[in-house]
């Protein structure tokens, strides 16, 4: 019936073969139509009396969720800045233990890459959500406070907090949102380097109050797509050249995404040194420069990116709290990417401050 509702004109009357007494007066069916990026809500209303066969006629109206009509655009821009991780309430030893070389007295710096996504309805006159020139100008104004600056000494935003990428993304989001007119901020993504970035998502311009941090790790491994449950011919047919008897290999990139709120003392949502240790000990050391088919976990399963990713989630979920581990992603080649949001894990681990 849903398919018919999508195809038929709004004035059509549809019959459902159910007794009238067992039908709710209002039935709500939400149909997502991917075409035209539109969501329609269909309201079915019984028309009484029922027919002789007991069927009840339905008339319906459809409403459009305009949120699905919004278009999103993203602008990238780079800036350079320095900072130092230092918690004045802590001793020198505590700071050094928590932050390592990021606590060096004279600071350090990064070439930051900022991605800003804004959304809104398309202006019927200009055909744009927001003039890209205007967005570029806004970002230029905002970043003039941060570009080629010491974030701790030259800006007023980090006098009581540490300029971690999590906190910096929050500040940038607030500054950018305050300049937008006619569009809303959908997401800010901030790269501190190629292997570390944070996302600060919004929902229709409203802050989600949660930061996602993604760390990338690299390892090289060989594998062969093959299962003993299929004949050699079927293996060759399904897996193609990936079924080569001697295997093949990849430079894998693992993405581990955590989410939460920055800790008031460290400005981080999780201890990165602990995350690095967990990933290196449980995944990188296990698979780097190895043939994955010979790993005990794959004695009865194929070494697909999907299976490998699920195993990695399970390994990490034993060490990282369930409320913190958000997603794992695996880049097998430039053309193949897998991601997994996991099952509900059982973990007694606690996040380090």
- Nearest residue to 138 via CA among 175, 165, 102: 175
Polymer length in residues for the chain: 353
Domain termination site, one of 209, 236, 257:
209
192 is known as an active-site residue: no
Q: Is residue 209 very low, low, confident or very high in pLDDT (cuts 50, 70, 90)?
A: confident
Render pLDDT for 65-91 as a digit per residue (tens, 0 to 9): 444 489 999 999 999 999 999 999 999
User: Which of helix, strand or coil describes residue 64?
Assistant: strand
Q: Degrees (nearest 5) of the Cα angle 169, 171, 177?
A: 95
Same domain, 141 and 190: yes
Residue of 6, 179, 242, 291 marked catalytic: 242
- Give percent of the chain with pLDDT exceeding 70: 76
Comparing C-alpha atoms, which of 180, 181, 179, 201 is closest to residue 190?
A: 201
CATH code: domain of residue 321? 3.30.479.10
Q: Whole domain around residue 60: which residue ranges? A: 2-66
> Does residue 230 sit within a domain?
yes
Q: Over the Cα atoms of the chain, what is R_g? A: 27
- Classify residue 18: in a domain, yes or no: yes
The verdict on 231 and 190 lying in the same domain is no
Among candidate residues 62, 218, 289, 306, the one labeled active-site is: 289
Q: Which of 184, 209, 234 is the last residue of a domain?
A: 209
Strand ranges in the chain using DSSP code E only, listed in sequence order? 14-16, 27-33, 38-47, 56-65, 71-83, 108-120, 149-150, 184-193, 196-203, 206-207, 211-223, 248-260, 290-291, 325-331, 337-340
DSSP letter assigned to residue 18: S
The DSSP bridge pattern shows strands 196-203 and 206-207 to be: antiparallel
Q: Is the pLDDT of residue 26 over 70?
A: no
Q: Is pLDDT of 45 > 70?
A: no
pLDDT of residue 100: 93
Tell me which of 145, 174, 192, 332 is the catalytic residue: 332
Contact 223, 292 (CB under 8 A): yes
pTM assigned to the model? 0.76
212 is catalytic: no
The answer to whether residue 35 scores a pLDDT higher than 90 is no
Average pLDDT over residues 245-272: 96
300 counts as catalytic: no
In a domain, 8, yes or no: yes
* pLDDT at residue number 67: 47
Mean pLDDT rounded to a whole number for the chain: 83
Asked if residue 17 and residue 58 are part of one domain, the reply reads: yes
Summarised one tens digit per residue, pLDDT across range 162-200 is 999 999 999 999 999 999 988 999 999 999 999 999 999
> Which pLDDT band, with edges at 50, 70 and 90, does 202 fall under?
confident
268 and 326 fall within a common domain? yes
Q: Looking at the predicted structure, is the pLDDT value of residue 145 above 50?
A: yes
Q: Which helix H or strand E contains 175, and what residues bound it?
A: helix 165-177
Residues 187 and 260 in one domain: no
pLDDT of residue 9: 35
Mean pLDDT score, 304-333: 96
Total number of domains in the chain = 3
Give Cα 254 distance to the centre of its chain: 14
Task: Based on the fold, state whether residues 328 and 223 are members of the same structural domain.
Answer: yes
Could you give the CA distance from residue 69 to residue 88 in angstroms, rounded to a whole number? Answer: 48
pLDDT of 182 reads: 85
**Mean pLDDT on 101-118:** 96
Taking alpha carbons only, the member of 109, 24, 37, 31 closest to residue 63 is 31
pLDDT score of 116 more than 60:
yes
């Amino acid at each position: 019936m849903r398919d018919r509702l999508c195809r038929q004109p709004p004035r059509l009357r549809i019959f459902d073969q159910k007794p009238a007494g067992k039908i709710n007066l209002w039935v709500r069916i939400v149909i997502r139509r991917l075409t035209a990026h539109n969501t329609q809500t269909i309201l079915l209303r019984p028309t009484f009396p029922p027919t002789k066969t007991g069927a009840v006629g339905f008339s319906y109206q459809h409403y459009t969720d305009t949120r699905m009509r919004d278009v999103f655009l993203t602008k990238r821009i780079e800036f350079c800045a320095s900072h130092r991780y230092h918690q004045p309430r802590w001793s020198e030893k505590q700071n050094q233990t928590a932050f390592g070389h990021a606590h060096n007295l004279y600071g350090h710096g990064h070439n930051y890459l900022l991605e800003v996504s804004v959304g809104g309805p398309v202006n019927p006159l200009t055909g744009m959500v927001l003039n890209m020139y205007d967005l570029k100008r806004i970002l230029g104004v905002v970043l003039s406070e941060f570009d080629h600056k010491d974030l701790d000494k030259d800006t007023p935003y980090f006098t009581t907090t540490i300029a971690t990428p999590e906190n910096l993304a929050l500040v940038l989001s607030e500054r950018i949102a305050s300049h937008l007119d006619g569009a809303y901020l959908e997401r800010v993504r901030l790269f501190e380097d190629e292997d570390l970035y944070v996302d600060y998502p919004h929902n229709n311009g409203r802050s989600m109050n949660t930061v996602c941090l993604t760390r990338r790790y690299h390892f090289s491994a060989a594998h062969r797509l093959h299962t003993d449950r299929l004949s050699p011919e079927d293996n060759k047919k399904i897996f193609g050249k990936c079924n080569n008897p001697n295997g093949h290999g990849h430079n894998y990139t693992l993405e581990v995404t955590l989410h939460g709120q920055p800790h008031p003392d460290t400005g981080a949502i999780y201890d990165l040194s602990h995350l690095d240790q967990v990933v290196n000990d449980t995944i990188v050391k296990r698979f780097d420069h190895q043939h994955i088919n010979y790993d005990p976990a794959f004695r009865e399963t194929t070494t697909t990116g999907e299976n490998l990713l699920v195993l990695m989630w399970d390994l990490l979920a034993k060490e990282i709290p369930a409320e913190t581990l958000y997603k794992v992603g695996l880049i097998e080649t430039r053309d193949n990417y897998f991601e997994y949001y996991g099952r509900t894990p059982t973990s007694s681990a606690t996040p380090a401050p």
